Structure 1
Amino acid sequence: MNGYLALGIAVISEICGTTMLKMSNGFTVLAPSVAVILGFGIAFYFFSISLRTLPLSLAYAIWSGVGTALTALIGVLVWGDAFSLMTFCGIAFIIGGVVLLNASNQSEKDTAPSI
């Protein structure tokens, strides 16, 4: 399986699990509580699959960064969380950091000597 595909599934599953965490109301509502466990279980499984081909630093930056940014947007759109210039800047910095890590990883691959 492609590492980026597995990572994408991990991100989506983590976002679903986190959203269900909010809906579980402190694990007092059964269906969302079960969905939390499934979502995070699937996320960790596919994240581990992605690590077969992707570097840990890159994969974790994408997983946590994209997951955090999308979860913040879901919080604003679905749960009515506050959205301000600071929120926008925070999300932009997260995405920018992921892009920089990815670019850094690519440049290291391009300049590394072949064995």
Structure 2
Amino acid sequence: MKTSLHPWLLLALAIVAEVVGTTALKASDGFTRALPSLVVAAGYGLSFYCLSLVLRHIPVGVAYAVWSGLGIVLITLAAWWLYDQRIDAVGLFGMALIIAGVLVLNLWSRAGGGH
């Protein structure tokens, strides 16, 4: 299937879908609650589908680094907002390092297309 969406927009959609799916995973209570369980399946399905399309245009290492790195940060923020999960200064520093790593990979590494 051909798509006219830009690969980076598809990657953003893949990340958001994965974050929605993972957030619903906690609410599914071990897949014992139907609606959150369906959200998990739909979120992960959409995420992997979009990621598969992204990989036609963006190298797998770069796409996965962005997908997983930003996903970690967004999941942590979602858990803080929805589930009152706390994060300390060391955790915030770690997330900043993840973001920095994704930026370095994409802006300056030859692997990410930057020079």
TM-score by length of 2: 0.89
Tell me the residue number matched to 1:112: none
Residue among 6, 31, 36 paired with 1:32: 36
Tell me the residue number matched to 1:106: 113
Instruction: State the Cα distance separating 1:107 from its structure 2 match.
Output: 3.2
Query: Which sections of structure 2, spanning at least 5 residues, go unmatched?
Result: none
Between the aligned partners of 2:101 and 2:82, the Cα distance in structure 1 is: 25
Q: Which amino acid aligns with 1:106?
A: G
Tell me the residue number matched to 1:45: 49
TM-superposition CA deviations, 1:47-106 (whole Å, max 9, x none): 001111111111000000000111011111221112210111111011011111112123
Tell me the residue number matched to 2:63: 59
TM-superposition CA deviations, 1:9-38 (whole Å, max 9, x none): 100100000011011011010000011001
Tell me the residue number matched to 1:113: none
Between the aligned partners of 1:77 and 1:20, the Cα distance in structure 2 is: 13
Residue among 72, 75, 83 paired with 1:68: 72
Q: What SS is found at the alignment partner of 1:107?
A: coil
Instruction: State yes or no: 1:83 paired with 2:90.
Output: no
Bigger helix fraction: 1
Tell me the residue number matched to 1:23: 27
Query: Which sections of structure 1, spanning at least 5 residues, go unmatched?
Result: 109-115
Q: CA RMSD of the aligned region, Å? A: 1.0
**Aligned residue pair count:** 108
Instruction: State yes or no: 1:10 paired with 2:14.
Output: yes
